[in-house]
Structure 1
């Protein structure tokens, strides 16, 4: 509906001519002035409403990827977000390039398409080890694919290729492909799957977000990466100690990149294998900010989180405004 703002007429109301020899009526003059003021005030009010509506529409149109209500601390720490979630299994026999898995997705289609994330397990592990992330992230407004790898012994480079193959399957062949915005994709992974996350981001710069979870990789330098990357380490990790894995991964990323390093306090290499509020909270914020371009989530990333009972250390930069 268009709001029509009527312009004041150039022929403004005037008082009737006074009879010859009489004094102009002050009452009529006041009525004229009052009527004109009211007319102009109504015009200004209508114009203001139209301008406000236009501004609100412009603001909404500025980010067509925004999904879900405005976030709060409690909403991103909750075990489930605002979307009901469905899931579907994908057999390894029906795909190529990876080992199948489970797709979790928002049941409703009323909000349009969603960004998508593929998640890899670690060495010797199956998708069950990272399954908790599926419904937790999907309920916040993402399509999430927790995958099995071709073999449980696959190395990081292979896992990176498999994450990309899973995203390609999601967007081109899966039963939920029409629910996905294929330009807004991300990757996550645990341990060697975390190392694979870095490999995938290096190989496909168009990815919008990457999150290695206590990642392991013999390659320590990642200056080629152009994807916003959040690295999780664990202070008690003896399999991929932060000093020789997560920290050098982080410091090797370009200084101009949107990047962060969160070291979990009182955690081990296997902390990402079970439900964890800190991992979920900051993963959701990162994915929302960079896959959905949703600046409403910047409040959880900037100012940088301080050390706490769950955070040993946090390094990074505030998200760049594009």
Structure 2
């Protein structure tokens, strides 16, 4: 197979009348006034801090409430910076580029590492770096040790890159090491399945037109979005993406997205459909952000850009 490059506070529970006294009872006047004041204070606190309860419920939410427009946009709400990792300092992978939200005001972020495919370089998947990072992730697009590395090797390299990102990189303090995911194109996509198999603590995996000689993945415990292309002649969906998806455990949060009018190399250039559903999947499972469930459940319907979509709803993670 050849690939040619081109800290909020929880508001107090509002006071309310008991069954034995009311705010209007003559013998309860002072108590009633105090209770009314407490209730008013609680309502004011709730009004002044509408996000406090949500933040307490999910401390990993990042960014404003999503819309179709926001997840289809070429950039999200975060300004993005980047830093290079030389192959000379990379251990177990070939170096790459880290994209990350410039501001630290929102605390740490979940992270994802992305591998290119067979014979390809980091540049082939670079567009995903700033696009995902601007939505509130630290994203590491990598080179592999050699362009001929097979999926199992690429899986190990994805994990090595995650370890570098969380333990040794210059942005490690910005990363929540408990919320990590992997992506990859072609053999890199096959590598993302290998990585998820090896490290079950991963929160999300997204193989993009993935290729692997291993077609069955019943051991995976990581929520997985399999992306295929209807016109893929290198890794045809019938022998790669569809078997990958159907072999995943039925109890696993999983989905299969087949791109319409697309080829094996569609993930190598900016693509709104790939970005939209990748962002939604990463947000839902790395950030546990249920605001993005609306884009995944009910299942998306076939359209000008989607040939087929399968999945299990509602999600359980």
TM-score norm. by structure 2 comes to 0.88
Identify the residue that residue 17 of structure 1 maps to in structure 2: none
CA distance in 1, matches of 2:81, 2:285: 24
Q: Does 1:124 align with 2:119?
A: yes
Question: Which whole-Å deviations, capped at 9, do the CAs of 1:33-73 have from their partners, x for residues lacking one?
Answer: 89x88994784364155167399634321111110000000
What secondary structure does 1:281 align onto? helix
**Residue-pair matches, total:** 300
Change (3 A) 1:265 1:3: closer
In structure 2, what is the Cα distance between the partners aligned to 1:165 and 1:291? 19
Aligned counterparts of 1:70 and 1:48: Cα–Cα separation in 2: 28
Q: Against the structure 1 CA distance between its residues 5 and 95, is the aligned structure 2 distance closer, same or farther, given a 3 Å change threshold?
A: closer
Does structure 1 retain, via aligned residues, the 8 Å contact 2:253–2:316?
no
Change (3 A) 1:101 1:46: same
Q: Which residue of 1 aligns with 2:3?
A: none
Q: Paired residue for 2:174?
A: 179
Name the structure 2 match of 1:16.
none
Aligned counterparts of 1:254 and 1:144: Cα–Cα separation in 2: 28
Q: State yes or no: 1:166 paired with 2:161.
A: yes
State the match for 1:192 in structure 2. Answer: 187
| 1:314 counterpart (304, 309, 317) | 309
Q: CA contact under 8 A between 2:110 and 2:137: conserved in structure 1?
A: yes
- Which residue among 80, 89, 92 is the counterpart of 1:97? 92
Aligned to 1:22: none
CA 49–60 in structure 1, closer or farther in 2 if over 3 Å, else same: farther
Over 3 Å counting, the alpha-carbon distance change for 1:242 and 1:3 in structure 2 is closer
1:77 aligns with 2:56: no
Aligned counterpart, 2:210: 215
**1:238 and 2:230 matched:** no
Unpaired runs of at least 5, structure 2: 1-8
- Pick one of 128, 132, 138 that aligns with 1:143: 138
Structure 2 counterpart of 1:227:
222
Q: CA 1:81 to 1:40, structure 2 compared with 1: closer, same or farther past 3 Å?
A: same
Give CA-to-partner distance per residue, 1:288-308, whole Å, 9 cap, x none: 000000000000000000000
